[in-house]
């Protein structure tokens, strides 16, 4: 198995040039001269992965109740950045809030920790298996319907995008573990959407995939003094993408469907441009395209949710006369500290409302249908309120 795995890795990372027979009206290439062809690592590795599927146990998250399409949603919880090796205490806190739906929005496990560049992504598979062994998690999942998308650490590699050569196998692991819908399994990427509730109280949840198709990040020029807030700079190329054309077309179709409230989930932050870490700020043209798509949606209330940052906060911006609101929640159990004042001072941001909370947290979205009011709440690991934002749609 190890030899097969090594061979697959070499195939994926080798130059994709092979000798081919010429067309009838073209001279054949000289023997031994490589001819460039469009062969992707996904295609090269598919026979290996097909064999691997027959040999390994694919971890599963466990039983999960289906969300009835007729349910009138009034409370949705979400979170990100959950490490399989860390305590799983947050599940009890979230369950006590009685959410009707929970959204796992990225870095749901840290599968790239200990990865040795093998094409089989053994560390990712092991991380899922460990997460599935936690009774706190499986007990929560057995009671609360869940939907999921991924971020980099459960995609397979820190800050990775569409050039990650093993993304297809990472997708198989993700879709098997989270029991993805048939629609998700039928297409590349893990983006998904549902509409729940009766007419007049329909909630659409749109989970974007900001990894599978994303163009390469543009790194900041080297300097002796590294930037304190990340090492990337905006990529203004019109060819650069976050979602890929197929997902963009799908998103526009989803936004045209009738809904009363839409919850749009991105694993990375959307509104803020105050840092040089990962986020839509890396792709300004795409960020504007997203704002345009949201502006052109069929009339509805709107909530933006994001994670990734190991800190949380509330963000707002104006776009063509509409006020957009975003709640970032991160992380569930991998906090980088609890000094919220220090985190706030380190990252000044005119788009953020209030502090930047670096302690463990999760998010809630409450819907008051009678008042047409949305409440975004960020809670800590004892379910105390860190931040709250109320607005009408």
Q: Mark whether 351 and 387 lie in a shared domain.
A: yes
Rounded Cα gap, residues 157 and 154, in angstroms: 8
Question: Quick check: 189 and 209 in contact, CB under 8 A?
Answer: yes
Q: What is the DSSP string of 158-180?
A: TT--TT-TTHHHHHHHHHHHTT-
Boundary (domain end) residue, out of 55, 72, 97: 55
Once rounded to an integer, what is the mean pLDDT over residues 356-365? 98
Percent of the chain with pLDDT over 70: 90
Question: Quick check: 192 and 183 in contact, CB under 8 A?
Answer: yes
Q: Mark whether 205 and 139 lie in a shared domain.
A: yes
Asked if residue 329 has pLDDT above 50, the reply is yes
Q: Using only C-alpha atoms, what is the Rg of the chain?
A: 22
Q: Mark whether 235 and 276 lie in a shared domain.
A: yes
Q: How many domains would you assign to the chain? A: 2
Q: Mark whether 166 and 82 lie in a shared domain.
A: yes
Rounded Cα gap, residues 107 and 149, in angstroms: 9
> Strand, helix or coil at 298?
coil
Q: Mark whether 147 and 242 lie in a shared domain.
A: yes
Q: What is the pLDDT of residues 11-42, one digit of tens each?
A: 444 433 333 333 344 444 455 555 555 678 88
The whole-number pLDDT of residue 372 equals: 98
Q: What is the pLDDT of residues 123-173, one digit of tens each?
A: 999 999 999 999 999 999 999 999 999 999 999 999 999 999 999 999 999
Boundary (domain end) residue, out of 10, 33, 55: 55
Rounded Cα gap, residues 347 and 23, in angstroms: 58
CATH number at residue 161: 3.60.21.70
Q: Mark whether 251 and 373 lie in a shared domain.
A: yes
Q: What is the DSSP string of 88-141?
A: -THHHHHHTT--SEEEE-S-SS-TTTT--S-TT-HHHHHHHHHHHT-HHHHHHH
Asked if residue 9 has pLDDT above 80, the reply is no
**What is the overall mean pLDDT for the chain?**
92
Boundary (domain end) residue, out of 55, 73, 88: 55
> Lowest-confidence range among 1-15, 69-83, 302-316?
1-15
> Lowest-confidence range among 160-164, 228-232, 320-324?
228-232
Asked if residue 1 has pLDDT above 50, the reply is no
Asked if residue 6 has pLDDT above 70, the reply is no
Q: Mark whether 232 and 371 lie in a shared domain.
A: yes
List the domain range (segments joined by +) for residue 31. Answer: 1-55
> Lowest-confidence range among 34-38, 86-90, 123-127, 262-266?
34-38
Once rounded to an integer, what is the mean pLDDT over residues 356-370? 98
Q: Mark whether 31 and 132 lie in a shared domain.
A: no
Asked if residue 227 has pLDDT above 80, the reply is no
Q: Mark whether 213 and 225 lie in a shared domain.
A: yes
Q: Mark whether 3 and 138 lie in a shared domain.
A: no
The whole-number pLDDT of residue 8 equals: 46
Question: Quick check: 38 and 62 in contact, CB under 8 A?
Answer: no
Q: Mark whether 3 and 96 lie in a shared domain.
A: no
The whole-number pLDDT of residue 10 equals: 46
Give the dihedral sign, CA 285/223/347/349.
negative
Residue of 236 and 30 predicted with greater confidence: 236
Predicted TM-score (pTM) of the model is 0.91
Q: 3-state SS of the chain: helix, strand, coil percent to 5?
A: 25, 20, 50
Q: Mark whether 30 and 167 lie in a shared domain.
A: no
- Residues with Cβ within 8 Å of 268's Cβ and at least 6 positions away in sequence, in order, are 106, 151, 210, 278, 279, 280, 306, 307, 308
Rounded Cα gap, residues 148 and 342, in angstroms: 31
């Amino acid at each position: 198995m190890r030899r097969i795995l090594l061979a697959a890795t070499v195939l994926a990372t080798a130059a994709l040039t092979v000798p081919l027979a010429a067309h009838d009206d073209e001279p054949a290439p000289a023997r031994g001269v490589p001819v460039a062809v469009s062969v992707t690592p996904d295609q090269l590795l598919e026979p290996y992965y097909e064999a691997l599927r027959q040999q390994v146990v694919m971890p599963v998250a466990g039983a999960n109740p289906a969300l009835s399409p007729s349910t009138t949603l009034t409370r949705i919880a979400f979170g990100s950045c959950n490490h399989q090796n860390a305590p799983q205490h947050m599940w009890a806190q979230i369950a006590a809030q009685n959410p009707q739906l929970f959204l796992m929005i990225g870095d749901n496990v840290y599968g790239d920790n200990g990865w040795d560049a093998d094409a089989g992504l053994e560390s990712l598979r092991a991380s899922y298996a460990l997460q599935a062994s936690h009774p706190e998690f499986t007990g929560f999942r057995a009671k609360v319907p869940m939907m999921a998308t991924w971020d980099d650490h459960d995609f397979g590699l820190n800050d990775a995008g569409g050039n990650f050569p093993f993304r297809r196998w990472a997708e198989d692991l993700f879709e098997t573990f989270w029991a993805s819908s048939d629609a998700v399994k039928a297409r590349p990427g893990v983006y998904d959407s549902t509409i729940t509730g009766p007419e007049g109280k329909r909630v659409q949840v749109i989970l974007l995939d900001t990894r599978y198709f994303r163009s390469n990040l543009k790194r900041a020029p080297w300097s002796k003094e590294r930037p304190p807030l990340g090492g990337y700079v905006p990529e203004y190329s019109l060819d650069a993408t976050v979602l890929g054309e197929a997902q963009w077309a799908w998103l526009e179709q989803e936004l045209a469907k009738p809904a009363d409230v839409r919850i749009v989930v991105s694993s990375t932050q959307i509104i803020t441009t105050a840092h040089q870490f990962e986020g839509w700020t890396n792709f300004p043209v795409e960020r504007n395209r997203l704002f345009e798509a949201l502006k052109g949606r069929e009339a509805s209330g709107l909530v933006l949710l994001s994670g990734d940052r190991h800190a949380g906060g509330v963000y707002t911006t104006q776009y063509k006369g509409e006020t957009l609101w975003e709640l970032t929640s991160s992380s569930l159990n991998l906090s980088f500290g609890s000094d919220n004042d220090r985190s706030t001072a380190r990252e000044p941001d005119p788009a953020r409302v209030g502090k930047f909370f670096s302690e463990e947290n999760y998010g809630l979205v409450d819907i008051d249908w009678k008042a047409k009011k949305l409440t975004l709440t960020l809670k800590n690991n004892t379910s105390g309120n860190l931040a709250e934002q109320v607005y009408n749609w």
